[in-house]
């Protein structure tokens, strides 16, 4: 008899975004004419820069020729892209990463979801709360957690509350944890941390032989000078951290699919009897066995993000989004909302008014303003009472959404 992986039955109903889609669908069935503005799912809206489309058209054309045809690429990605990553994303910030430490993939969601596979089920996982649900749900599926309680918190997971009181920067755990998911600039709160704060995490991980899974998918949105873009800017981090990067939000690749992670050669995990094992080779084996490389076309497009024209055009799009973020912050503050984030991240994290629950505020916003956001509770128990708005819509839609919210 084929037995189910019963861990799937522990998952709470519906991943956050499908549930939002369902509510929008119901609303639209009853309000066919309503012009719904989405500030919910963190999806970009600006068209791809021409430097990127030109590079991808060229890649497609190559594939149509005998000499330019590319079949299977390296599972870990092409060196032409990995070399650019090493140079532009790391060396430019004083960080030495080797090409063989870079693993190119079809996106940071897949990488942050799959990375837990190389670790044993006995590890204690720590996550921020609120948190990007993928970190938690993939550990639930793997069997690293108990069932969920009435607040939606799963057994065995160590939740690290992030609230206005701690500036949305979690405290170091007071107990032993083994795998620590950190995301800065943060999704959903938009918070960032200083190099000194990151250094304390690296120190904790070194002391406890823990591994930090550092999601830097939003680093391109950092506007303040002294905020680290990579955890490897902290001395010693290569011994304890895997870093995830994405072209999705910075370069508009949500539909193109390309990202990467860095697994440094110094990074180890341990067998139960204490033998240190190099994780770069384990992840390489995982990717070589279960993945066949990102699309050649997507990798060619990603390479173009590092050209002078590509960089300039990407920055123009980021500026549009961050101008949205500034406007959302300013307008909502003036309306009396308590507003966080939006300075070094494309997410604005606001306190729901009048102690409303976040799903109630979702329904009010959808039904009264025809604006979709993301309920904080969808990101975890500590997200209750908060609400995420993204800065990714077209500017005219942001302005219109803010006008409607002002009328509420």
Contact 251, 236 (CB under 8 A): no
Residue 223: what are its φ and ψ, rounded to 5°?
A: -110, -20
CB of 294 to a copy of itself, least distance (A): 7
CB of 214 to a copy of itself, least distance (A): 14
Query: Within a 13 Å sphere around the CA of 75, how many CA atoms are in the beta-carbon half?
Result: 10
Distance CA 25, CA 69 (A): 43
Residue 18 sits in the site that holds a copy of itself (CB under 8 A) = yes
Q: Please, which of residues 135-174 interact with a copy of itself by CB under 8 A?
A: 137-138, 141
Q: Please, which of residues 188-247 interact with a copy of itself by CB under 8 A?
A: 208-211
Q: Please, which of residues 82-111 interact with a copy of itself by CB under 8 A?
A: 106-107, 109-110
CB of 296 to a copy of itself, least distance (A): 4
Question: Mask: binding to a copy of itself, 250-289, rule CB under 8 A, as x and -?
Answer: --x-xxxx----------xxxxx----x-x--x--xx-xx
Distance CA 275, CA 272 (A): 7
Question: Mask: binding to a copy of itself, 342-371, rule CB under 8 A, as x and -?
Answer: ------------------------------
Residue 3: what are its φ and ψ, rounded to 5°?
A: -95, 135
CB of 71 to a copy of itself, least distance (A): 4
CA gyration radius for the chain? Answer: 21
Residue 316 sits in the site that holds a copy of itself (CB under 8 A) = no
CB of 11 to a copy of itself, least distance (A): 7
CB of 158 to a copy of itself, least distance (A): 14
Query: Within a 13 Å sphere around the CA of 180, how many CA atoms are in the beta-carbon half?
Result: 26
In this chain, which of 41, 309, 327, 381 binds a copy of itself, going by CB under 8 A? 41
Distance CA 394, CA 145 (A): 40
Virtual CA dihedral for 98, 100, 101, 107, nearest 10 degrees? 120
Which range touches a copy of itself (CB under 8 A), out of 115-123, 304-312, 333-341, 355-363?
115-123
What's the DSSP call for residue 170?
P
Q: Please, which of residues 368-407 interact with a copy of itself by CB under 8 A?
A: 394
CB of 322 to a copy of itself, least distance (A): 18
What's the DSSP call for residue 154?
B
Residue 68 sits in the site that holds a copy of itself (CB under 8 A) = yes
Contact 345, 218 (CB under 8 A): yes
| Strand pairing report for 125-129 and 179-183 | parallel
């Amino acid at each position: 008899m084929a037995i189910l992986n019963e861990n799937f039955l522990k998952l709470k109903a519906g991943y956050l975004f499908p549930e939002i889609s369902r509510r929008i669908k119901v609303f639209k069935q009853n309000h066919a004419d309503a012009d719904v503005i989405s500030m919910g799912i963190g999806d970009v809206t600006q068209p791809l820069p021409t430097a990127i489309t030109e590079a991808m058209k060229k890649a497609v054309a190559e594939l149509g020729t005998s000499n330019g045809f590319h079949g299977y690429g390296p599972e870990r990605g092409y060196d032409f892209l990995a070399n650019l990553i090493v140079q532009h994303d790391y060396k430019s910030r004083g960080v030495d990463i080797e090409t063989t430490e870079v693993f190119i993939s079809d996106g940071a969601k897949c990488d942050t979801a799959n990375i837990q596979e190389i670790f044993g089920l006995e590890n204690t996982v720590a996550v921020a709360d609120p948190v990007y649900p993928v970190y938690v749900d993939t550990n639930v599926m793997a069997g690293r957690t108990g069932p969920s309680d009435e607040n939606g918190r799963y057994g065995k997971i160590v939740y690290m509350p992030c609230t206005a009181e701690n500036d949305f920067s979690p405290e170091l755990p007071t107990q032993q944890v083994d795998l620590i998911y950190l995301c800065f600039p943060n999704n959903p709160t938009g918070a960032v941390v200083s190099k000194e704060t990151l250094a304390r995490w690296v120190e904790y991980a070194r002391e406890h032989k823990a591994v930090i899974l550092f999601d830097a998918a939003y680093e391109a949105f950092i506007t303040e000078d002294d905020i680290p873009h990579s955890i490897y800017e902290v001395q010693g981090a290569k011994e304890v951290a895997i870093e995830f990067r994405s072209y999705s939000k910075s370069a508009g690749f949500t539909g193109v699919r390309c990202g990467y992670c860095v697994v440094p050669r110094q990074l180890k995990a341990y067998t139960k009897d204490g033998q240190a094992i190099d994780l770069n080779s384990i992840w390489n084996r995982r990717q070589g066995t279960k993945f066949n490389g990102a699309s050649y076309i997507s990798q060619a497009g990603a390479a173009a993000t590092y050209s002078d024209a590509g960089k300039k055009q990407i920055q123009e799009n980021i500026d549009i989004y961050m101008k949205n973020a500034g406007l959302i912050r300013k307008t909502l503050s003036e309306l009396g909302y308590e507003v966080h984030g939006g300075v070094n991240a494309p997410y604005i994290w606001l306190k729901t008014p009048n102690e409303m629950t976040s799903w109630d505020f979702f329904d009010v916003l959808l039904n009264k303003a025809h604006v979709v956001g993301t309920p904080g509770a969808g990101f975890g128990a500590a997200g209750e009472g908060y609400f995420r708005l993204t800065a990714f819509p077209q500017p005219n839609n942001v302005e219109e959404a803010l006008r409607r919210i002002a009328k509420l």
